[in-house]
Amino acid sequence: MALAASVAVAFLGLLHLYILALEMFLWETPRARKAFGTTADFARASKVLAANQGLYNGFLAAGLFWSLLLDAPLAKPVALFFLGCIVVAGLYGAATASRRILFVQALPAALAGLLVWFGW
């Protein structure tokens, strides 16, 4: 179970690095516009806001990767903190922006949190 927890945490870290790249560097590309359901005009107008959002996703990824490098007494609470932040952000995003965020962000983080809770 510890391996499954570590893989889940790493996967979510990689997912949030991908979101960082989409929001910070690729926001105006067709791939990012499709992922977030935006138009070219909206993407152009919101580029700075999206980059700021992307930076926060990078911090979430950094925290998850950090938890993988920590020793046993600290790894679990650090991972659970960052996974909890993702769940809260995902719930808020699902309520305010798109229900899809619930399944892309919040649910995977909650499942990873269960694996960490019981596996580490």
Q: pLDDT per position in the chain (120 positions), as tens?
A: 799 999 999 999 999 999 999 999 999 999 999 999 999 999 999 999 999 999 999 999 999 999 999 998 999 999 999 999 999 999 999 999 999 999 999 999 999 999 999 998
Element (H, E) at 13: helix 2-24
Contact 91, 102 (CB under 8 A): yes
The residues spanned by each domain of the chain are: 2-119
